[in-house]
Chain A
Amino acid sequence: MARIVVITSGKGGVGKTTTSAAIATGLALRGHKTAVIDFDVGLRNLDLIMGCERRVVYDFVNVINGDANLKQALIRDKRVDNLFILPASQTRDKDALSQEGVERVLNELSEDFDFIVCDSPAGIERGALMAAYFADEAIVVTNPEVSSVRDSDRILGILASKTRKVEQGGDPIPGRLLLTRYAPERVERGEMLSIEDVGEILAIDLLGVIPESQAVLNASNAGQPVVLDEESDAGQAYQDAVARFLGEERPLRFVDVPKKGFFGRLFKG
């Protein structure tokens, strides 16, 4: 049985796809057989971030409709063993993701995967609801910025009520916060909400903090999940998040303004 995790946020453009690619790749790197599914019907992008856009033949909706089977549609990653991508459909039909169809695909994947990572679209409509509905847990991607935090809280409300677990009378699925695009200098200057501020408002456990980083753009330009850029701050921060996701303890990194260098210290003011 796979663990199904939804990467969600409410607000668009906060880093869900970047995170889905990084977390899925990170899990596979640690030997867990992982599938990452793009739920953003009509706006397929995970394929680009994973660098497999030219290998897409069939998509999620093709599998739901029975036009292709999972084996045909899943794209095996060329860099990392145990990593598979299921691309979104480019159809404009918003109802293409039927609940029964999604359930069938997830059930089939569950049989031989350890993790299924669901990259949710923005918003609170069908795609986002379907990405969350069958999840066992959630990673809520939030930027330290008012509209993102507010939308994350709304998504937490949805996670608390609109999942299969809850509808079957179970507990709400656990959700953890991944604070991304964090800029410690700006926090120190009082221009940006701090980890503590966001944590206090959303009141959920913190999975990690990903710094604002040039490495993310470089990675998406190259079609390489940023977690593969092991030298980079964002890559390492995602590695830490994956480790915590798997139950390890890791101190937070890249959350303080870098200490002054030698000369800075010599002339400390």
Chain B
Amino acid sequence: MGIFDYFRQPRQKSASVAKERLQIIVARERAARSGPDYLPAMQQELLQVIRKYVQVDDDAVQMNVDREGDCEVLELNITLPDDKE
């Protein structure tokens, strides 16, 4: 797809793109707010540790704290690069 095709795409897209992006970021920020204070620092450190072994993107580590009854579950998601070069 060339650059002109991009601009020729139906306009309808921009509001729904906006909505999708917002849904993701707002959910992430809410999770960060409700989680423990050490979460952001821990996330950064984990990122550094992982980078000792494999080069990953800044947003490769996603953390989420869920409450299940009395239990707090820390969900950790690490996205590794898909193609090995």
Interface residues of A (CB under 8 A from B): 145-146, 149-150, 153-154, 157, 187, 189-194, 197, 200-202
Contact = CB atoms under 8 A, between A and B. Distances in A.
Chain B residues touching A, majority SS: helix
A202 B23 CA distance: 9
B22 A187 contact: no
Contacts of B10: 190
A201 B33 contact: no
A153 B30 contact: yes
A83 B13 CA distance: 45
A193 B30 contact: no
Chain A residues touching B, majority SS: helix
Interface in B20-68: 21-23, 25-26, 29-30, 33
A197 B12 CA distance: 14
B53 to A, nearest CB: 33
B29 A193 contact: no
B20 to A, nearest CB: 10
B15 A157 contact: no
20 contacts: A146-B21, A146-B22, A149-B22, A149-B26, A150-B26, A153-B26, A153-B30, A157-B29, A157-B30, A187-B15, A190-B13, A190-B15, A191-B11, A192-B15, A193-B15, A193-B22, A197-B15, A197-B18, A197-B19, A202-B26
Taking residues whose C-beta sits less than 8 angstroms from the other chain, chain B's interface range is 10 to 19
Contacts of B13: 190
B77 interface: no
A191 B15 contact: yes
A153 B15 contact: no
